[in-house]
Amino acid sequence: MNDLIQDLQSPVADAGTGFVRVGMPVSRVDGRAKVTGEARYAAEHPAHDLAYGVVVGSTIARGSIAGFRLREALAVPGVVEIITHENRPRMRSFDLFYKDMTAPAGAPFRPLYDGEIHFSGQPVALVVAETFEAARYAASLVAVDYLPQQHETNLMAHLARSHKPKPLKAGFSPPPDERGDAEAALLAAPVRIEAEYYSGVEHHNPLELFASTVIRGEDGHLTIYDKTQSSQNSRWYVSRVFGLGKDKVTVRNPYVGGAFGSGLRPQYQLPLAVMAALQLRRSVRVVLTRQQMFSLGHRPETLQRIKLGADHDGRLRAIVHEAVAETSRYEDYVEVVVNWSGQLYACDNVKLLYRLVALDQSSPMDMRAPGAAHGVHALEVAMDELAWALRLDPLELRLRNYAEQDQMKGLPFSSKALRDCYEQGARRFGWARRPLAPRSMRAGSELVGWGMATGTWDAMQMFARAGAVLHADGRLVVSSAATDIGTGTYTAMCTLAADALGLRLEQVMFQLGDSTLPVAPIEGGSSHVATVGSAVAGVCEKLRKRLFRMARRLDNSPFAKARFDEVEFAGGGLRLRRQPSVAMSVEEVMAAAGEARLEEKYLMLPKVLKQKQYLRATHSAVFCEVRVDEAFGTVRVTRVVSAVAAGRIISAKTARSQVSGAVVWGISQALHEETHADHRLGRFMNHNLAEYHVTVNADVGDIDVIFVDEDDRIVSAIGAKGVGEIGIVGVAAAVCNAIFHATGRRVRSTPMTPEKVMAPEGDVSVSAAL
Amino acid sequence: MDIPVRNEGGAGAQAAPRYPLSLRINGQPYELEVESWVTLLDLLRERLHLTGSKKGCDQGQCGACTVLVDGRRINACLSLALMQQGREVLTIEGLAEGARLHPLQRAFVAHDALQCGYCTPGQICSAVGLMNEGQARCRDDLRELMSGNVCRCGAYPQIVDAVEEVMFGSAGAEERDRPVIVGTVPA
Amino acid sequence: MTPFAYHLARDPADALAALTAPGGNTPLGAASFLAGGTNLLDLMKENVARPMRLVDLNQLALARIEETPAGGLLLGALARNADTAYHPLVRSRYPLLSAAILAGASPQIRNMASNGGNLLQRTRCYYFYDTGTPCNKRSPGSGCAARGGLTRLHAILGASEHCIATHPSDMCVALAALEAVVHLRSARGERQLAFADFHRLPGDTPQHDNTMAADELITHIELPPARYAAHSAYLKLRDRASYAFALVSVAAALALDEGGRIVSARLALGGVAHKPWRQPEAEAVLAGKPPEAAHFAAAAAVLLAGARGESVNDFKIPMARRAIVRALEVAAAGTPGPACGEEER
């Protein structure tokens, strides 16, 4: 069955890696494939009959296509076909068929379905040619006549027509009803702050360009290498859109060059490549340009208003948090922005509001810690503002409002080691030495500031299946249609399996990234390890039991009288806990029992009833140091300590990289990233990596990651929660708060670019202490 | 050299003419015929199936395509293949000696200086070029001189650790002083 | 990218002949020189540049860096930016140029980019790069979409109603301050252009970035004898710490007498105009003065006279004023050594 898909690239740890235990810092098992260039990504799989597709994007934001002038483009030697809505192959019309597993409410965009234009950059044609260069040239010759209509892309100009969103999206819950009477409590509070926070559009910009290579078999079967966070979601989408049975399409994604949410939904290069392959009856590759990736979806521009009221001792009396975000005209993209504000701190009076404005944009998309990255940011900056209003240490303010339980239903947390995060993070950072007042520290020409913030994210678990085959030679192949977008899935799963059966890491192969493998959820929401890992643990437990039973039944078995809980799996086989010299290797057991292979399957279903009795979340405390040259508003983040409580850490090295990398994301959100739209054109204009700034190496100082002790068997059977998102949450707020501490100026919009941070005219001494 | 081998279009040609090209890639000689408009990166990836060099922007703005030409790091996406006439190109595929990884490759794995891996070949080739240049003297130099390689996963501190270890033999001294604290590491 | 013929030039004469040679439907002006390719290929992929013939200059013997009889330095047009920045004579005598080059682009691009090509790099204006929008520089007469649009990166000095783009080079800012001379060659002969006259303001012909004729080739860039090695500074302000174009940059150079007074000063700004911005009047303010902040501020005021923002980029005016003062202060204190980490100090 799911023994081994031979032509699927699956990495195995280097020989000599040896025995590992869960929680050890194990080197990435896919490391060798990645440092040698052997790992092949979506655009890198060859086919002998390959044609290249290049996308033509709309230059208008709203309207329709009057017609195409294709003569010149078709005349380019090597051009095979130009596919538009006028000549595309048959595809389903009903909206429902275009809804992928994570689609929000609404009617999904249907690429090349008709001549309606919904956003600037929308694909309007696919040029297919024998070479990439010919296709690219011909694409530049495609002339499109549009019938433009007035577009609206400016959130700030259309706040008045905001609407209550339709909440139909997996993982989304609308803001809860008001708790207590927030406005009245606010009026009665002796200390109040109120402020607006703005966050601009951001684009995921994974380094790998979005691509699909559709390899057509002689029987017409399509094997598709797609850049996606779920091979099964893409397979499902292709089947439904084109009416192709499950057996006609296989989608693979063994290596994914980053995604950060942009691969949660099938992107338009996928149906376009499939269309071309169906129409031309040959293999087709479509790779988007960096510019085109700015038309895929984005973190939505969001305006928030927060009001906090507190007693003189800092106890929160009222929290009001409102957010207005943009969405497209065709879907209600929703994310949890404000709900955390009712959860993170103890407060009896909380009012939360979340509304959307529909614009002529592509639908926004989940981007690393969707909602929390800017929602918790606003709350945590507001808390810092309140702390200063109270002349109270910002960490002390958080401790005085520590939430011991769920505020809405009184549920306990499944685990919450946030206090440990605060304590260990502060100690590592040296927070106790922080002067309370801003503008207290200086180094050379720079002001120095220390800031902190809390982070939180949901601890989720989906359902998944896993399969496992143990071979007579001691090799173990475990599989599930999971994904590794750089998160360390391969490594974590191999570690779990090797530990469970006491095998050397190099004896274990984990196969993921193929839609025919046992069902796994989309990799997203920091739930993959808790979900797939629990399935892997489950299938391994079945193998352990079977091996044990086999061993016990052997003639003259040393385990004849042992109970299962008296043996352990270590050192390449099983042995008695009390007498480790009584041992048999896996190979010996298999040989003695005459078994060539043992196969098990496992379905992991979350224990929903139990889980619902708890509030399940990850937490973090972020401390950061900035140096600000206030003459110019330039900010350097010199030091970050991130203390994270995320349950049991399965793979210490890759988990640490996840958090450290997310801190870099937080720095990027704080200082660098914003996509600028020209609303006259309805178009994003800095659509490249020279003008859309992401953090580079020189921007990053020391990053210190602490995992505090937590082990949560309610969230998952393996005790893990998940680390993908938590690392970014709160980082930008800590940076903002540190900038305030350095300069005494509060920057309430991200990114905090130099012009927002620099001292106003006449308010600065330029002369540096040289 | 300027006489095309074949011109598929003629007057008003809409196909790029083809030219002979000889160069060495990873020590191996190649005698090719390429269209003028083929970049070095697309030659490697699409014609020769050497897909270790990555395309992340195709505009010289990310560094994922970094390769070494006569020992110098360049962006393969910003060079025409024809500009490499007679040159020695080294890509990530040519760095290891058989199964034996280059020290930088080993250090990248050991320090977990990668996540998704897409920028990694470019980072490593860039680091080889940086070492050849001999201009970096300290950690801050490494940060600056590795800034032509975007890592969207944010592995920068680990990348600097890996390069520092291979270059100066003292990598991540700071890191060792502050080990990872993992609450659940078994004794 | 449009198809093009490729010619590998043997020598400058061959290159010039190939540039202007008739052939097929390749009219004069539709051919282009190719050196490092770092900007041209990018522009070709974006369909901003559509040459029908490329004349590859990389075999030309113009990559040397050598001393002139007058005591200056002659930089070959094909010397790579990195080789120029790291050249011992450039480092010791023109550290300002070295610093400016190293503040630009990335190590990979500096390894490829030629000195001549650096002078010819084109603006980073979003609209110039996006063929989906009008732009007078890309498509003369189509209009300037930047005006009233996204102008954060745009000019505060010397702009016209037709174009508010800025020149993106760092190297050129230093060359302007150092009063370099550009050596040009064409079929008509050779000529030299003062750096101040090389780039131009947009006026009503923003399609022209410089005053070179279409059939000319840059052969060398000449630096006059060094006067500012001891007191110079390049200060670049940008949106991230590296690998970003300047919001504002300043090249400042001072010659001090034995008493510490300023004998002469040179100042040029990047990121603020269609060309590196220099005003001899601003430099004259400093002559004979002690290197003090008040005089620096006075020079800044003269250099920025007439500066006008497009509202979004108004911040560049105080930023430039402060940057001038800071750069002059740093220069007065002595040319900073090549930066290295605090841990090494």
E-only strand ranges, A21-138:
51-57, 63-69, 79-83, 105-106, 116-117, 123-129
Cβ-nearest to C1 among B37, B144, B145: B37
DSSP A380: H
Which CATH number is C248's domain given? 3.30.390.50
With CB atoms and an 8 Å threshold, state whether C239 touches A754.
Answer: yes
C264 touching B (Cβ < 8 Å): no
With CB atoms and an 8 Å threshold, state whether C6 touches B19.
Answer: yes
**Pairing state of beta strands A350-359 and A316-328?**
parallel
pLDDT in tens, A687-721: 999 999 999 999 999 999 999 999 999 999 999 99
> Is-catalytic flag, A218?
no
As for how many domains chain A has, the answer is 3
Cβ-nearest to B138 among C24, C107, C343: C343
With CB atoms and an 8 Å threshold, state whether A632 touches C127.
Answer: no
Residue C279 lies in a domain: yes
**Pairing state of beta strands A63-69 and A116-117?**
antiparallel
Q: How confident is the model at residue A766, as a pLDDT?
A: 73
Q: How confident is the model at residue C339, as a pLDDT?
A: 64
Q: How confident is the model at residue C29, as a pLDDT?
A: 45
Which CATH number is A546's domain given? 3.30.365.10
With CB atoms and an 8 Å threshold, state whether B37 touches C105.
Answer: no
Residue A732 has pLDDT above 50, yes or no: yes
Determine the distance in angstroms separating the CA of C233 from the nearest CA of chain A, rounded to an integer: 13
Side chain identity, residue A764:
V
Report the 3 state secondary structure along A462-494. Answer: CCEEEEEEEECCCCEEEECCCCCCCCCHHHHHH
Residue A134 has pLDDT above 60, yes or no: yes
Q: Contact A302/A750 with Cβ under 8 angstroms?
A: no
Residue A341 has pLDDT above 80, yes or no: yes
C315 touching A (Cβ < 8 Å): yes
Residue A655 has pLDDT above 80, yes or no: yes
Cβ-nearest to B58 among A131, A290, A695: A290
With CB atoms and an 8 Å threshold, state whether B158 touches A657.
Answer: yes
Band of pLDDT at residue A168, cut at 50, 70 and 90: confident
pLDDT in tens, A500-556: 999 999 999 999 999 999 999 999 999 999 999 999 999 999 999 999 999 999 999
Two structure tokens written together for A509:
């192969």
pLDDT in tens, C201-213: 999 999 999 999 9
Residue A209 lies in a domain: yes
| Dist. CA A203–CA A200, nearest whole Å | 10
Q: In a mutagenesis test of the C interface, which of B147, B152, B159, B175 is the best target, namely the one with the most C β-carbons within 10 Å? A: B147
Q: How confident is the model at residue A150, as a pLDDT?
A: 98
Residues A467, A451 within the same domain: no
Residues A446, A503 within the same domain: no
Residue C82 lies in a domain: no
Band of pLDDT at residue B6, cut at 50, 70 and 90: very low
For residue B135, which residues of chain C lie inside 8 Å, CB to CB?
A: 86
Which value does ipTM take for this structure?
0.97
Residues A710, A725, A755, A761: which is the catalytic one? Answer: A725
Residue A599 lies in a domain: yes
With CB atoms and an 8 Å threshold, state whether C107 touches B129.
Answer: yes
DSSP A405: B
Considering chain C, what percentage of its residues have pLDDT values greater than 70? Answer: 96
Average pLDDT in the A590-611 region? 97
Residues in A 176-205 with any Cβ partner in B closer than 8 A: 205
Measured CA distances, B143 to A662, A699, B146, B157 (Å): 18, 8, 5, 9
Q: How confident is the model at residue A763, as a pLDDT?
A: 60
Q: How confident is the model at residue A87, as a pLDDT?
A: 98
C329 touching A (Cβ < 8 Å): yes
pLDDT in tens, C323-332: 999 999 999 9
Q: Contact C266/C94 with Cβ under 8 angstroms?
A: no
Average pLDDT in the A342-358 region? 98
Residues A466, A596 within the same domain: yes
Average pLDDT in the C237-262 region? 98
Which candidate, A296, A117, A325, places its Cα nearest to that of A684? A296
Residue C220 has pLDDT above 70, yes or no: yes
Band of pLDDT at residue A191, cut at 50, 70 and 90: very high
Phi, psi for residue A185 in degrees, rounded to 5: -65, -35
With CB atoms and an 8 Å threshold, state whether B11 touches C24.
Answer: yes
With CB atoms and an 8 Å threshold, state whether C111 touches B74.
Answer: yes
Residue B174 has pLDDT above 70, yes or no: no
Residue C273 lies in a domain: yes
With CB atoms and an 8 Å threshold, state whether A657 touches B115.
Answer: yes
B70 touching A (Cβ < 8 Å): no
Average pLDDT in the C264-272 region? 98
Residues A469, A456 within the same domain: no
Domain housing C38: 5-59
Determine the distance in angstroms separating the CA of A352 from the nearest CA of chain C, rounded to an integer: 33
Side chain identity, residue A673:
E
E-only strand ranges, chain C:
5-8, 31-34, 53-56, 65-67, 73-76, 181-186, 189-194, 217-223, 232-238, 246-256, 262-270
For residue A290, which residues of chain B lie inside 8 Å, CB to CB?
A: 56-59, 61
Residues A520, A466 within the same domain: yes
Domain housing A483: 462-605
Residues A654, A698 within the same domain: yes
**Domains (ranges, CATH) in chain B?**
18-94 (3.10.20.30), 103-172 (1.10.150.120)
Q: In what order do the strands lie in the sheet with A441-443?
A: A441-443, A446-458, A617-629, A634-645, A700-707, B181-182
Picking from A544, A576, A605, the residue at the C-terminal end of a domain is A605
Listed in sequence order, the residues at least 6 apart from C51 whose beta carbon sits closer than 8 Å to its beta carbon are C2, C4, C30, C31, C32, C40, C44
For residue A77, which residues of chain B lie inside 8 Å, CB to CB?
A: 8-9, 14-15
Q: A with B: how many residue pairs have Cβ under 8 Å apart? A: 231
Establish how many alpha carbons lie within 13 A of residue C314's alpha carbon, considering only the half-sphere containing its beta carbon. Answer: 5
C244 touching A (Cβ < 8 Å): yes
**Overall residue count recorded for chain B in this entry:** 187
Band of pLDDT at residue A664, cut at 50, 70 and 90: very high
Residue C16 lies in a domain: yes
Q: How confident is the model at residue B168, as a pLDDT?
A: 93
| Dist. CA B51–CA B67, nearest whole Å | 12
DSSP C176: H
Picking from A546, A574, A605, the residue at the C-terminal end of a domain is A605
Two structure tokens written together for C298:
């006075």
Residue C150 lies in a domain: no
Residues A494, A601 within the same domain: yes
With CB atoms and an 8 Å threshold, state whether A681 touches C145.
Answer: yes
Residue B177 has pLDDT above 60, yes or no: no
Q: How confident is the model at residue B171, as a pLDDT?
A: 53
Band of pLDDT at residue A3, cut at 50, 70 and 90: low
Residue A733 has pLDDT above 80, yes or no: yes
Residues A373, A451 within the same domain: yes
For residue B143, which residues of chain C lie inside 8 Å, CB to CB?
A: 242
Residues A531, A637 within the same domain: no
Q: Higher pLDDT residue, C29 or A628?
A: A628
Band of pLDDT at residue B185, cut at 50, 70 and 90: very low
Determine the distance in angstroms separating the CA of A382 from the nearest CA of chain C, rounded to an integer: 25
Average pLDDT in the A51-55 region? 98
A364-381: buried (b, 16+ CB within 10 Å) or exposed (e) per residue? Answer: bbbbbbbbbbbbbbbbbb
Which CATH number is C34's domain given? 3.30.43.10
Band of pLDDT at residue B14, cut at 50, 70 and 90: low
Q: Contact C73/C90 with Cβ under 8 angstroms?
A: yes
Residue C196 lies in a domain: no
Torsion sign, CA atoms C276, C281, C285, C287: positive
Q: How confident is the model at residue A623, as a pLDDT?
A: 98
Residue A138 has pLDDT above 70, yes or no: yes
- How much of chain A is helix, strand and coil, in % rounded to 5? 25, 25, 45
Which candidate, A266, A326, A286, A296, places its Cα nearest to that of A121? A296
Give the count of beta carbons closer than 10 Å to the beta carbon of residue A147: 12
Residues A594, A726 within the same domain: no
For residue B83, which residues of chain C lie inside 8 Å, CB to CB?
A: 34, 37, 56, 58
As for how many domains chain C has, the answer is 2
Residues A645, A692 within the same domain: yes
Considering chain A, what percentage of its residues have pLDDT values greater than 70? Answer: 99
Side chain identity, residue C284:
A
With CB atoms and an 8 Å threshold, state whether B80 touches C38.
Answer: no
Q: How confident is the model at residue C159, as a pLDDT?
A: 98
C47 touching A (Cβ < 8 Å): yes
Q: How confident is the model at residue B50, as a pLDDT?
A: 98
Average pLDDT in the A236-258 region? 98
Residue A67 has pLDDT above 80, yes or no: yes
Side chain identity, residue B106:
R
Give the count of beta carbons closer than 10 Å to the beta carbon of residue A106: 20
With CB atoms and an 8 Å threshold, state whether B2 touches C343.
Answer: no
pLDDT in tens, A257-313: 999 999 999 999 999 999 999 999 999 999 999 999 999 999 999 999 999 999 999
Determine the distance in angstroms separating the CA of B184 from the nearest CA of chain C, rounded to an integer: 34
DSSP code per residue over A553-603: HSTT-TTTT--GGGEEEETTEEEESS-TTSEEEHHHHHHHHT-SEEEEEEE
Residue B9 has pLDDT above 50, yes or no: no
C105 touching B (Cβ < 8 Å): yes
Band of pLDDT at residue B71, cut at 50, 70 and 90: very high
Residues A228, A142 within the same domain: yes
Q: How confident is the model at residue C340, as a pLDDT?
A: 64
Query: To 10 degrees, what angle do helices A372-389 and A731-743 make?
Result: 30
Residue C180 lies in a domain: no
For residue B55, which residues of chain A lie inside 8 Å, CB to CB?
A: 43, 209, 287
Residue C105 lies in a domain: no
Q: C-alpha angle A727/A613/A648, rounded to 5°? A: 35
